[in-house]
Amino acid sequence: MAAKNLFTEDYEIHASAKMLYPYISTASGLAEWFADDVNINPEKIYSFEWDNEKHKAVVAAHRTNHFTRFEFVPESDDDKDDPSYFELRIELNELTQTTFLKVSDYSDFDDLTELKDLWDGLIDQLRKVVGG
């Protein structure tokens, strides 16, 4: 069993929490920057598609205008006990009134440099979409 790693990074985004939240919580918002395609079925299972490969996830936790945590549907018994997830959390620095998106990515992806590059690119795409 591959050990899982937690990657976390804070990204400054020039957008309000209210404007940013749909981009981290809805299929249509996520499809604009996060994956090639995102769909949600009637059972509320999200299907994220990258390079013609689908990955299913459920919203494990969320708070409107604050955060969304997606937990990937386990593909093996090991995953059942220790599911992979990613969380997108909007944080506001009260002093500077700056909005940050805190990314937490818990997976068996072991090249953290490559993972950081991947998230940097995704967040750049998000900034273009929201104009921030």
H-type helices in 26-102, by residue range?
A: 27-31, 77-81
What are 62-93's pLDDT values in tens digits? 999 999 999 999 877 777 888 999 999 999 99
User: What is the Cα Rg of the chain in Å?
Assistant: 15
71 contact partners, CB below 8 Å, separation of at least 6: 57, 58, 59, 60, 83, 84, 85
Q: What's the pLDDT band for 120 if we cut at 50, 70, 90?
A: very high
CA distances in angstroms from 91 to 51, 73, 97, 100, listed in the order given: 31, 27, 10, 5
Decide if pLDDT at 96 tops 80: yes
What are 21-72's pLDDT values in tens digits? 999 999 999 999 999 999 999 999 999 999 999 999 999 999 999 999 999 9
Is 5-130 assigned to CATH 3.90.1170.40? Answer: no
- Widest Cα–Cα separation across the chain: 45
